[in-house]
Structure 1
Amino acid sequence: MKAELIKKEGNVVNFKLTIDNDKFEAAINKAYNKNKGRFNIAGFRKGKAPRSIIENNYGKGVFYEEAIDIVFPEVYPSALDELNLAPIDRPSIDVEEISKDNGLVLVVEVEVQPEFELGQYKGIEVAKVDYNVTEEEVDAKLKELQERASRLVDSDKEIENGDTANIDFEGFKDDVAFEGGKAEGHNLVIGSGSFIPGFEDQLIGKKAGEEVDVNVTFPADYHAEELAGAPVVFKVKINGVKVKELPELNDEFAQDTTEFDTLAELRADVKAKAEEEAAAKAKGEERNAVVDAVVANTEIEVPETMVNAQIDNSIMELNYSLQYQGFSIEQLLEMTGKSMQELRDEKKEDAEKSVKASLVIDAIAKAENVEVTEEEVQAEVAKMAEAYNMTLDQIKEALKPSDLEDIKGQLRIRKTIDFLVENAVIA
């Protein structure tokens, strides 16, 4: 195999790829063996006709396309290495020649990563970030623990914000019940904002056993067109009211809900963990500030192909997240009144920043010879096994080679950022 650069215009490279005749012949034979069962040749059982007979009947090049599909992926990576190219899109291929003397000669066109000069990336100055944990913040975290230990108890009092009302309801528009507007035994937390604006407010002051007409107007941008902006009436029956009962914050609370014997010990532990979180947050912001400053120092014309690929990934992740919640991207677009193109346009700026950062970090990693060892990859795999509560053998079996490459790539990025932070001035 031989690769020869023809020309480079901007980020588009053309090169000639020559594959010797023996290798191409082997690929043709593979194509023949894979496809010979498709041909019906008089005098031969199906799939038994020799390659030469099939070529005589259908043309010498009958297996060329399949053979190229077989051989090209085998030699393309080596050609990229030989020419030191980093493609960002799929290549296009033109056949220039097929002969016994020269073998298979292809002209390949592919878009590659842009070339650019790195700006300053050592000695970057960023402001130190400090987060002081206040007693009020500790109180708030203890309040969260108290809320988690709360329980709902039945009450005959009037409904207030924060109470949970168990209700039956049915909605009517112009005295006609509408689809999707009816439920029985629904638990509604008053003040949660989970119902149409104004609905929950009209239940405040009511008690279990009461029935009330709730008059509301659907938002103008409501996803159901027939209800958007429409005034409706919900006939509501209040089956019961539950109020949140909070345990008292004292030594007994600490003993019952944690491993500590006193509230003072629990408070000290909550504060220590909050300080750890604050320190980690500050460190993360400092690292981001260093990366942002380094990226800002480098001028790059970010390829549209890479930006679009990043937007595709972002939308795919959004779709996965929505599906986990029982929604789809189509429902999101319908509810927000946006088109897919508008959603893509919204994500473009962040995508451009992400692509630029990845290009700069990769260039610095190459310039500084940042490498990831097999031991570092295996150590990361061991951490993943612990995090997912799996054995090392289980997670190794679950990981594909591409997953290990992704892990290696992430470690390389992390080590490169570590290098930038170590060489930055943070004060």
Structure 2
Amino acid sequence: MKVEKLTSNSVKYTFDVTPHEFEHGLDHAFDHVQKDVEVKGFRKGHVPRNIYETKFGVESLFEDALNHVLHHKYHEAQNHPEFEIVGQPDIDIDWKNVKRGETFSVSIVAPVKPEVTLGQYKGIEVDNVDTTVTDAEVEQAINKLLSQNSELSPKEGALELGDTAIFDFEGFLDGTPFEGGKAENYQLEIGSNQFIPGFETQMVGLNPGDEKDINVTFPENYQAENLAGKPVVFKIKLHEVKSKAKVELNDDFVASLEKENVKTVDELKASTKADLLKSKEENAKNQIAEQAINKLIESSTMDIPEVMITEEIEAAKKNVENQA
């Protein structure tokens, strides 16, 4: 096998096909077509090789035979230690030179991983990432912990932001119910923004037993194409309002968390601050590494094969389709 580098991202492989290799390919090609061949005087699939070649010509087997040979030759190219093939090759065959009983050459041109010329990587300057943990951040994290451990209980009076509503709803597009737009006894925390923008705020002030038409418009990028950008009406009926009972931050609450070596409020605050610091430091390390890599890429040169760009675009499309 002769290997010739054409560009920074393509290589030409030239193979000699020996008479023995080509004859083996012809045997394979005949075995492949024999089952479908019909010749008068012979049962289908039982035509002898010499009769077939007399009637159809051995040249009718050349393409299949060469494909079989090239299949093995291509594996030889793929195993070449110097280059890594990254896409389907172009095959160059001069059929005038393809003759039974003679050695002939076949070439393939394949895209390979490009060479990368690294830019200056020593002394790269990156922006510092602040990892300071403030008292406000610690307080916010602990309040979130308190909220997560609070229990819902029935509430008298009107629905407010932060309350949980239990309600029925049904959506209508141009007066017609649409698929997936109906539920009963649905539980929703008002202000969590789980629903379409504007839906939850229109529920504020309702009392159990109240009914209301909620007018909203689906976002333009909504996954259901028949609803994207469309104005709809949700008819709702509120059954119950619940609120979270406030949990007091004290040593008893901290002990109930069963965190190792954390038994008091002060220890919880210290532990929370340490966790936040660890998270920020890890995030900072990743951001700094990303800055350095981006700057190195900007100063480096590479000639990326078109096939790699196309495959990356197709992969991105599929990823978007799967998330839709």
TM over 0.5: yes
The Cα shift of 1:130 comes to 4.5
Distance 1:159 1:3 in 2: 79
1:23 counterpart = 2:25? no
In structure 2, the partner of 1:37 is 35
The Cα shift of 1:113 comes to 4.2
The Cα shift of 1:121 comes to 2.8
Equivalent residues in 2 for 1:288-299, closer than 5 Å? 288-299=290-301
Amino acid at match of 1:75: K
The Cα shift of 1:49 comes to 3.4
Equivalent residues in 2 for 1:257-268, closer than 5 Å? 257-260=257-260, 261-268=263-270
Distance 2:227 2:128 in 1: 55
Any conservation in 1 of the 2:9–2:303 contact (CA below 8 Å)?
Answer: no
1:108-165 CA distance string (max 9 Å, x none): 2333444564322344344554512233222222233323323322222210012121
Amino acid at match of 1:3: K
The Cα shift of 1:240 comes to 1.0
Amino acid at match of 2:146: Q
Distance 2:16 2:81 in 1: 13
SS of residue paired to 1:179 = strand
In structure 2, the partner of 1:236 is 236
Structure 1's 203 and 226: CA in aligned 2 closer, same or farther, altered over 3 A? Answer: closer
Distance 2:228 2:315 in 1: 34
In structure 2, the partner of 1:418 is none
User: TM (normalized to structure 1)?
Assistant: 0.63
Amino acid at match of 2:68: I
SS of residue paired to 1:64 = helix
The Cα shift of 1:313 comes to 1.7
Any conservation in 1 of the 2:37–2:45 contact (CA below 8 Å)?
Answer: yes
| 5+ long unaligned stretches in structure 1 | 323-327, 329-427
1:86-119 CA distance string (max 9 Å, x none): 4443112132232345435223233344456432
Distance 1:85 1:75 in 2: 15
User: TM (normalized to structure 2)?
Assistant: 0.80
The Cα shift of 1:314 comes to 1.9
Q: Rg: which structure is higher?
A: 2
Any conservation in 1 of the 2:160–2:204 contact (CA below 8 Å)?
Answer: yes
Distance 1:77 1:292 in 2: 36
Distance 2:209 2:149 in 1: 29
Amino acid at match of 1:168: D
Any conservation in 2 of the 1:17–1:79 contact (CA below 8 Å)?
Answer: no
**More moved, 269-278 vs 37-46:** 37-46
Amino acid at match of 2:164: T
Q: Select 1:89's aligned residue among 81, 87, 95.
A: 87
1:241-299 CA distance string (max 9 Å, x none): 12123433322223323334334334333333322222222222222222222222223
Any conservation in 1 of the 2:11–2:110 contact (CA below 8 Å)?
Answer: yes
Structure 1's 151 and 68: CA in aligned 2 closer, same or farther, altered over 3 A? Answer: farther
Q: Select 1:8's aligned residue among 6, 9, 18.
A: 6
In structure 2, the partner of 1:310 is 312
Higher relative contact order (CA 8 A, sep 6+): 2
The Cα shift of 1:39 comes to 2.3
Distance 1:135 1:149 in 2: 21
Distance 2:202 2:122 in 1: 62
**Coordinate RMSD, CA, aligned:** 3.3
In structure 2, the partner of 1:139 is 139
> Between Structure 1 and Structure 2, how many residues are aligned?
317
Structure 1's 315 and 172: CA in aligned 2 closer, same or farther, altered over 3 A? Answer: closer
Distance 1:152 1:104 in 2: 82
SS of residue paired to 1:38 = coil
Any conservation in 2 of the 1:24–1:104 contact (CA below 8 Å)?
Answer: no
1:298-335 CA distance string (max 9 Å, x none): 23344443222212222223333x1xxxxx4xxxxxxx
Structure 1's 246 and 220: CA in aligned 2 closer, same or farther, altered over 3 A? Answer: closer
Distance 1:93 1:167 in 2: 66
Structure 1's 10 and 274: CA in aligned 2 closer, same or farther, altered over 3 A? Answer: closer
SS of residue paired to 1:79 = helix
